[in-house]
Every structure is written in C-alpha cells, then in structure tokens.
Homo-oligomer: A and B are copies of this chain.
Amino acid sequence: MNDDFVARVRAVVGSGHVLTGPGDTEPYVADWRGRYRGAALCVARPADTAEVAALVRLCAERRVPLVPQGGNTGVCGGAIPDGSGSALVLCLTRMNRIRNLDRHSDAITVDAGCTLAEVQRAAEEADRLFPMSLGSEGTCQIGGNIATNAGGTAVLRYGPMRDLVLGLEVVLADGTVWSGLRPLRKDNTGYALKHLFIGAEGTLGIITGATLKLFPAPRSAGTALLALPDLDAALEVFARLRSALGDRVTTAEILSESQLAAVLAHVPDTVRPLETRAPWYLLVEVTDTLATDALADMLEETLAGALEDGTAADAVIARSGAQAAALWKLRHSVSEANRKSGVVIGHDTAVPISQIPGFVARATAAVEAIRPDARVVAVGHIGDGNVHLVVILPEALRTSGEPLDPIIRAVNAAVLDISIELGGTISAEHGIGQSIRGQLAAFKGPVEMGLMQGIKRLFDPLGILNPGKVL
C-alpha cells in the first residue's frame, strides 16, 4: 500500500525529489532545537503549485496526512510530523522563484519557498524595502513566515507578516488551487479568506505563493541604547520617542541586565555598551526615507531630555555603522547566550503595553517561587507588548536525575496564567504548533474554540492538513 503511494508521489514530483528512509528524511522530521522529533512516510519536494495540488489530491484520496514545511526554523514544532510515520512532509524549498515585482504598485509576488532573505534582496535591488526582519531570515521561507504570521524586530513599524500580505495562492484540502494573488491595496468583496490562512500553520490549506507589500527604502538610520532604572521608565521613553518621531521609530527592544550579563558572559566579541549598569536597557532604532542628519539630532534631543529629567540613567548613540552593529549584536546574541547559560524555558507572551511592568514583576516572582534556583532574564519587543520571559535553570539539573518535564510545565503554566490575567496572550509571534496546543482551549474558551473547530472541519473535512497542530 505505502510502496504504491510513494510510487505515485514519485510520479508527481520525480524520483529525485522524494526522500524515504530514516537517514534521508532526518533533517525534515526534527526541529533545529532538538525539541520535536517525528517520522515520515516520505518527504516530497514539488517544483510548482501544480505539483503541490497533485500531491494534495493524492493525499486526500489515500487519507495520508500532509505536513507542509518551509525552512524548518519554527520553535513550536508546527512543521514536524508526529511519530507515527504515516505523514507526507511537503517541503517547498524548490519553489523559490520571484514571480514578479511591480514598482509602481509596490508589490512583489513570490513562491512560498523563497527565503525571507531572497525577498529582502529582490526588494533592495528595486530600491524598495521588504521590512520583515528575523534572526533566521537566511533560512526561513516566506510560506512559513505567512503560515505562522511571523513577527520579528520591525513589527512596531511595519506590522507582523499578516500586515505585509496583499494576496495569497493556496492549495486547498481537496487539491483545488485558490488564486488570490492580486496586488490590490483595497478589496472589499466579501469574507477575508487570506486572513484565515495567515497564521493557520498549514492546517487550512497549503500556501504556495504570495503577493507582498513593499515600502520605500530607508536612507538614514540611527541606533541608540539607554540604561533605565525600571520598566516604567522604558515605557515612558518609548512613548516620548513615538510621540516625537512617530513611525521613524522602527525598533524598540528591551533587555534586562540579567540578559545583558548572560550575553557578555557567553558570547565572544561582545562588550558592555555603557559604563552605567542599570536593571534595564532599551535598544532603539530610528529610520527615515530621507538621507538627513536631522534624524540623529532628533534622536539625540529626545534622549537628552530623558537623561536630564532622570528618566534614563545613561545613553549612547552609535556614531558609526560598526558601533550600531555592536549594539545590535548584543540583541541578536541572546538565544546563543541563554543556551550556553543553562536549561532554558522560553516564553512568547504579549500583554497590553501598559501591563508590561506588572507582567514581568509578577511572572518573575512566580517563577522564583517555583524554582529558587532559576535565573529569569527578559528580552523582547516593548512596542508590541511582547517581552519574552526566559527562565534559565542550572545546567547541573540535566544530570541530576530530576525530570525536566514537570518543571517546564509548572513554569509555563505560571507565566501563561499571569499573561492571561493581565489581558495578554499565550503566543505572541511564535504560533501554537504542537508546543502549547494543550493550553489553547483554556485560553480561547469554548465559543472561540468552537468556531475554530468549525472552520477546520469546513476547510479540511478529512483532517489531512497538518493534523495535531494548532487544534
């Protein structure tokens, strides 16, 4: 039976693009962090939308579950099949064409398998900006970015992936292709189907192409780091910057001193950016479409005001590209630093911006009450309310014989509960995947879960699209 199925898959995509057997499929059935591992009947790498549609028809006919996968850079296990070995992993890597770039419409149409960096580059060559910016941008693919509604460091200014999508091409659960690739800025003709597929993590359809918004390229930029006594001061500085500079404020990233200390301790070629030590640091980037020195002056003026009235304890403005890169390196090194610091339990909550100080204080206290040996560091996107609380336990715990799972569950539950109590969410930008699927029902409540389940049944009546994810 299975041999026959695989033979038919080979007939669709060509033998060279079908992988079977544990060795060959290994890179496609485990995630890069080693948290999730499954098994696959086979991995198929289609060349185009028609081949995707043929594979979906085949899977529907044979009731074979289908797990779409892009760059496999997710952190929630959304692209990893379960352990049964019954699924086809649909790898979109070969679909990496830039289909069209329309300068006047500020729109680019691409295959889902283009990497984010390839799209950024195509925009740049046309003197435009595609603003999404992620640590994994060299590897992650646009289809995955859309399926997970990816976030990153430029959401404050440009919004998450959802806001950057003009149109989609999607293969539905029966193999039908929905062509919604119009580069239109406005279209008020009924229900917003594209928004259902965005963030659905491949459970409602397979995204094969997208038309994305482009923006004018920035011609000047400024980068600064402030030392701050507390998170209220960080909110105050952020509010002043937004009020004065508006959407020139592209990025506002917060780091706790404990997070900075971890970076300095574990990552080579990092240096303490300010002599003043403070509980919190705010990394700010401002950009402008004008090539102007005025931007730096405006940034300086706002920071000077915050220093004068004591809101900020210290501040530095990068005077060169190298200095700016050194500041950014501190931010980009947090994952590496935390991994080297011990056993990491990460969180991706978001609360209303005004609730950030309360969330961090309460969640830190709750974690420390559960595990007095925990070090809590915080890093994230203050303008999105999305501060990642990262709990680091001693490395020795791994060999202590104490099981990790109950600790992780207790810590997760405490942090997520406090986020929910403060009007927040349990997943801000990473998605649900398989990682927090168990917590979704309690967060959403029966009304919303019922609607979501109804939509799932409507779009995927056979339940073959990425089963066991999200719902």
Question: Are A198 and B192 closer than 8 Å at their CB atoms?
Answer: yes
Across-interface contacts of A247 in B (CB, < 8 A): 247, 289
Stretch of A98-106, A325-333, A401-409 that contacts chain B: A98-106
Q: What is the CA–CA distance of A235 and B247 in the complex, to the nearest angstrom?
A: 24
Q: Which residue of B178, B190, B242, B245 is within 8 Å of A199 (Cβ)? A: B190
B353 near A105 with CB under 8 A, answer yes
A97 to chain B minimum Cβ distance, whole angstroms, is 19
Of the listed residues A185, A186, A198, the one surrounded by the most CB atoms of chain B closer than 10 A to its CB is A186
Q: Are B185 and A384 in contact (CB under 8 A)?
A: yes
A148: which of B188, B217, B288 is its contact (CB, 8 Å)?
B188
Task: Kindly state whether residue A347 has any CB partner on chain B within 8 Å.
Answer: no
Residue in B closest to A127 when the chains form the complex, CB atoms? B243
Interface residues of A in 172-192 (CB under 8 A from B): 172, 176-178, 180, 182-192
Interfacial chain B residues near A383, Cβ < 8 Å? 185
A410 CB within 8 Å of chain B: no
Q: 1/0 per position for A36-62, CB-CB distance to B under 8 A?
A: 000000000000000000000000000
* 14 additional contacts (CB under 8 A) given A105-B352, A190-B200: A104-B352, A159-B163, A160-B186, A182-B423, A185-B353, A186-B384, A188-B428, A188-B429, A190-B452, A191-B452, A191-B456, A192-B199, A242-B289, A247-B247
Residue from A148, A177, A218, A423 with most neighbouring chain B CB atoms (10 Å)? A423
- A5 lies within 8 A of chain B by Cβ: no
Q: How far is the CA of A352 from the CA of B102 in the complex (A)?
A: 9
Give the contacting residue for A245; candidates B151, B177, B290, B423; CB below 8 A.
Answer: B290
Instruction: Determine the distance from Cα of A385 to Cα of B242 in the docked complex, in whole angstroms.
Output: 29
Most buried by B among A159, A189, A429, A459: A189
A356, closest chain B residue (CB): B104
Task: Determine the chain B residues whose CB is within 8 A of the CB of A217 once the complex forms.
Answer: 243
Report whether B160 and A163 are in contact in the complex, using a CB–CB cutoff of 8 Å: no
Contact A425 B186 (CB under 8 A): yes
CB-CB under 8 A from A424, the residues of chain B are: 182, 184
Q: Is A15 an interface residue (CB 8 A)?
A: no
Asked if A196 contacts B185 (CB within 8 A), the reply is no
State whether B350 touches A185 (Cβ < 8 A): yes
User: Which of A261-269, A277-285, A439-447 lies at the interface?
Assistant: A439-447
Task: Report chain B residues within 8 Å CB of A384.
Answer: 185-186
**How close is A51's CB to chain B, nearest CB, in angstroms?**
19
The one of B106, B198, B290, B425 in contact with A187, judged by C-beta atoms closer than 8 angstroms, is B425
Q: Is A451 an interface residue (CB 8 A)?
A: yes
Contact of A200 among B191, B245, B351, B430 (CB under 8 A): B191
Quick one: which of A172, A215, A244, A246 has the most chain B CB within 10 A? A246
The residue of chain B having its C-beta at the shortest distance from the C-beta of A189 within the complex is B427
Q: Which chain B positions have C-beta within 8 A of A95?
A: none
Q: Tell me if A304 is interfacial: C-beta within 8 Å of chain B.
A: no
**Known contacts A352-B102, A353-B104, A385-B105: A189-B289 contact under CB 8 Å:** no
A149 close to B (CB within 8 Å): yes
Q: What is the bound-complex CA distance between A349 and B195, given in angstroms?
A: 21
Say which residue of B106, B190, B427 sits within 8 Å of A440 (CB atoms).
B190
A354 touching B186, Cβ below 8 Å: no
> Which 8 pairs across A and B sit closest by C-beta, in order of nearness?
A246-B289, A195-B195, A104-B354, A186-B428, A105-B353, A105-B352, A185-B384, A187-B425
How far apart are A327's CB and chain B's nearest CB, in angstroms? Answer: 24
A288 and B186 contact, CB distance less than 8 A: no
A78 to B: closest C-beta gap in Å: 11
A204 nearest in chain B by CB position: B191
CA distance A208 to B351 in the complex (A): 23
**A7 — which chain B residues lie within 8 A by C-beta?**
none
What's the least CB distance linking A136 to chain B, in Å?
16
A120-157 interface with B by 8 A CB criterion: 127, 148-149, 151, 155
Can you list 22 A-B pairs, Cβ within 8 angstroms, ordered by A?
A102-B354, A105-B352, A106-B242, A151-B186, A151-B188, A172-B451, A184-B352, A185-B383, A188-B199, A188-B428, A189-B440, A191-B204, A191-B451, A191-B455, A191-B470, A215-B246, A216-B242, A216-B243, A216-B244, A294-B294, A451-B458, A454-B458
A451→B185 contact, CB < 8 A = no
